[in-house]
A and B are shown apart, each in its own frame.
Chain A
């Protein structure tokens, strides 16, 4: 890569007031940030909101990026925090949701999502099952298995010990498979998940 296009160089130029450099950063990471938000939150509109918040936070907090970690690690941390914030706001402000959103699954922070097997009727794939995985497991799982991030880097993103990351990934995988299994047992809901397990 052209050295002038490295993330850290674009950060430096952004801090000097070069908005084109900041735009390059956004363009480069837009897809990754959005997909991380989408898999964590499970809803396209929430994901877009969280991703927008992420880039605003990146702009506002850019001077706090000390360069002692990779920019991507720092940006993933900002993204995960933005997702947590959106999930919390959604629970605090149900009236601000658009009409018709009530039936969308709500991402949970903290305690595991209850096992509502009935609500899985009609969900057809691993993405739908992913929403049923408790959030702290889901975040680790998405970073590891969808974003191909090393456990050590995930530990830096989440600021938890690496052993905790490995446990969360394992528990997340088990929870996901069980959610897919519930989907597969629904007679009217043939799923890709069931095919994967066969």
Chain B
């Protein structure tokens, strides 16, 4: 015997049209299994109606909001037009002529005003300039693996971030209980990343150019995040963004991820 599972949900909801309800009721007269299931489903539906919502943590979404603010702070005025992320250009187009005019207004004063910079990417990579990191950026943010992946991905072409934004301190919403209490010096932070990610026999630190150093938390543990640009060598532009995360406490490896630009 076939059982009308797809109709039983709506039957229990009391939402079946008359004709289909009659079909189901005829079936239930002769099917113990479905009759039992209808009783169980009604009990479950009633029980679920008593489940109350649970308050969400107040800082939920703080990482994303901080990232949105960082992008906003680093996007409009700091980069020449060719470096504008696709995110911004697309938004301008989507907003119509008025927004496009706004973009032009914002952009024109900067045409030609950017100093010559060594580009980090070629045709396949973002054309933003890669400046070596010189400071530690403090974020009261609790990263997880997805957050680290998002950070790496944000350096992809067109994803809305620009290289070398380490110098731009972006205000970050305070995540209660997750604040970074002990600022670390830039040299200590780099030493921590080097210590965590250098092979035992290695002579050098992690591969690539360190363009951003962030002091934050990873899965609630105090952490140092380093963003590195890595190229194929032979003077060719960087095509990989790697994010390394080391423990602030003992400079051990917490996680790492990389994306190809």
Partner of B43, one of A15, A19, A27, A197: A197
Query: Which applies to chain B's interface (DSSP): helix, strand, loop or mixed?
Result: helix
Evaluate contact between A22 and B45: CB separation under 8 angstroms: no
Bound state CA distance, A89 and B253, in angstroms?
Answer: 18
Q: Contact string, A18-54, partner B, CB cutoff 8 A, digits 1/0?
A: 1100110011001101110011000010001101110
B92: interface (CB < 8 Å):
yes
Evaluate contact between B147 and A52: CB separation under 8 angstroms: yes
Evaluate contact between B150 and A23: CB separation under 8 angstroms: no
List chain B residues, Cβ under 8 A from A38. 54
| Best-surrounded residue of B5, B43, B72, B144 (most CB of chain A within 10 A) | B43
Evaluate contact between B69 and A19: CB separation under 8 angstroms: yes
Evaluate contact between A17 and B72: CB separation under 8 angstroms: yes
Bound state CA distance, A180 and B64, in angstroms?
Answer: 37
Q: How large is the interface on A (under 10, 10 to 19, 20 to 34, 35 or more residues)?
A: 35 or more
Evaluate contact between A34 and B72: CB separation under 8 angstroms: no
Evaluate contact between A31 and B55: CB separation under 8 angstroms: yes
Partner of B61, one of A52, A60, A126, A166: A52
A193: interface (CB < 8 Å):
yes
Evaluate contact between B144 and A192: CB separation under 8 angstroms: no
B97: interface (CB < 8 Å):
no
List chain B residues, Cβ under 8 A from A146. 48, 51
List chain A residues, Cβ under 8 A from B186. none
Bound state CA distance, A18 and B69, in angstroms?
Answer: 8
Partner of B65, one of A19, A96, A144, A151: A19
List chain A residues, Cβ under 8 A from B44. 126, 141, 145, 172-174, 176-177, 180
Partner of B53, one of A19, A23, A31, A174: A31
Shortest beta-carbon distance from A132 to chain B in Å? 12
Evaluate contact between B5 and A34: CB separation under 8 angstroms: no
A169: interface (CB < 8 Å):
yes
Bound state CA distance, A106 and B163, in angstroms?
Answer: 39
- List 17 additional contacts besides A34-B57, A53-B147; criterion CB under 8 Å: A15-B90, A17-B72, A19-B65, A19-B71, A23-B68, A55-B65, A57-B150, A59-B68, A63-B87, A96-B219, A126-B47, A126-B48, A166-B7, A174-B41, A177-B40, A177-B44, A177-B47
Q: Which 5 A-B pairs have the closest CB atoms?
A: A34-B56, A177-B40, A55-B64, A15-B91, A173-B41
**Which chain B residues have a beta carbon within 8 Å of chain A's beta carbons?**
5-10, 12, 37, 40-41, 43-51, 53-57, 60-61, 63-65, 67-69, 71-72, 75-76, 86-88, 90-92, 94-95, 99, 142, 144-147, 150, 153-154, 159-160, 219-220
